[in-house]
Amino acid sequence: MASLLIKKAYLLKPNAFKNTVAIISNATRNHWNYQYKPGQYPKTPEEREAAAKKYGLTIEEYQPYPEDMGYGDYPKLPDIGADSKDPHYPYDNPELKRNFNEPFHAIAELIGEDRYDISMKPRIPVWQQWSWFFGVIGGFFGIFYYLEDYKFGRPVTAKQYPQDGPHYLFNAN
């Protein structure tokens, strides 16, 4: 099958051969698996039960994303960042705080342990953070506006050119 595809691509377009090899090597290198792709959105209770079983969840736990989001039958998992999970639980993969066959979150690349924790309650409320931010910026702007008329710097006279008239030199000669 692959050799037929490569022959056909090579005969039609010479650059297509290079692109086909790149696609095949990329799929092989990244260990792509057809099972990684979610199935169709479950419409019947039987499909819903099969999808829950596929992801290792009970029917009560399984809740798919809305159909218009395009995640298919992938389960909507609770928004808990890896940093908020119990650090003393005996995980199968403690580096990622995951267990074997535990489904990834749909936005796992955003809520990893070294990234944003979606479930964390901030120590300082957001309104207070914004108040401090605008207070500091406003304070600096106020100081700048108030001291605008009181410039200081190195006292330098204007550059002296010969055509501007007589100039005095302060030499010891």
67-110 pLDDT, tens digit each: 888 888 999 988 888 888 898 999 998 988 888 888 888 888 88
CB distance 97 to 82 below 8 Å: yes
User: Backbone phi, then psi, for 44, in 5-degree steps?
Assistant: -105, 160
Rounded mean pLDDT of 113-141? 92
C-alpha separations of 25 from 3, 21, 59 in Å: 14, 6, 38
pLDDT at 13 (0 to 100): 67
